[in-house]
Amino acid sequence: MKTKFYSFALLAFVATFMAFAPAQAQFRIGSDGLQFDLEDNHKPVQASTIIMVKKSQKHNKATECRIGLGNISTIPTFEIGWNVISSPNYGLYAGSGVGDFFNINEWKSTQVTVNLLQASASNLSRTLGISVGLGIRANNYRFADNQSIERTTGIVMPYEIGRSEKGRLPKKSKFNVASVHIPVEVFFGNPHKFAFSVGGYCDMVMNSHTKIKYEGGQKTKVHNFPTNFIQAGAVARFTFHGVSLFASYQPTSIFKSSRGPELQQWTIGLAL
């Protein structure tokens, strides 16, 4: 998983730079950091903690592209939210008697996101622009009842948790989905002051597993459930001095069609 992620991050970085950089820009490492010599005026643009490319155009207009952490972007470095399952559909289980089994504790079902790479393009006054990012995301669904899920002939089925092999009683149970996260947002206003942004995201699932913790610290995990590889949604965000409130909706079902219940989710949270 790590090898795939770092390869994807490198490709995304190169593609973003090639899209925004001038055709005749020259790159070199200078004493003050990374430098780009632009064909227009041959003056180097320097950046030590971020990489910035700035192109001047006619009528005193300009476009900026910044790549890295700390830029003018609404994509946060760290984000935490709380998941709520929306309109679950258990039609696949009609007549099986299993009932509505994917019941979670919303306050303990969290979404944690860390964006490792950010890029943005904005007008010169930095009041209108677009932000993109690349990161990792973990969705945790904490079961409210003393139950977990398993794969039975390829279909997700619930079961009641009993004692462990050592005779320990269960304390908590959850289902986890880990993904590579790609957000895109259009923002209005200055994210360093106040801004509103709307956009979407695409998550590529790398792993899914259940985890049961028993008394005494014993744990068990089961991996690779039939989740949808692509999970996409929409997001709206208010940003005030680098701190943001967001709400997102994911219409893509967590599980594949005819392999588990149809589950969409809302997420509400905070970001830095």
Q: How far apart are the first and last CA of the chain?
A: 26
Domain that holds residue 81: 69-271
Q: Are residues 41 and 113 in the same domain?
A: no
Task: List pLDDT tens digits, range 95-106.
Answer: 888 888 999 999
Task: List pLDDT tens digits, range 112-164.
Answer: 999 999 888 888 777 888 999 999 999 999 998 889 999 988 899 999 998 88
Would you say residue 42 has pLDDT above 70?
Answer: no
Q: Are residues 32 and 156 in the same domain?
A: no
Task: List pLDDT tens digits, range 186-231.
Answer: 999 988 889 999 999 999 999 999 999 998 888 899 999 999 999 9
What is the 3-class SS of 23-84, one letter each residue?
CCCEEEEECCEEEEECCCCCCEEEECCCEEEEEECHHHCEEEEEECCCCCCCCCCEEEEEEE
> Which of these three, 51, 67, 83, is where a domain ends?
67
* Total-model pTM: 0.74
Query: Of residues 134 and 58, which shows the higher confidence score?
Result: 134
Task: List pLDDT tens digits, range 62-99.
Answer: 555 555 444 678 899 999 999 999 889 999 998 888 88
Look up residue 271 and give its amino acid.
Answer: A
Would you say residue 51 has pLDDT above 60?
Answer: no
Q: Are residues 91 and 142 in the same domain?
A: yes
How is residue 153 annotated by DSSP?
T
Listed in sequence order, the residues at least 6 apart from 113 whose beta carbon sits closer than 8 Å to its beta carbon are: 76, 78, 79, 80, 81, 135, 136, 137, 138, 181, 271
Nearest to 243 by CA among 208, 271, 268: 271
Q: Are residues 199 and 222 in the same domain?
A: yes
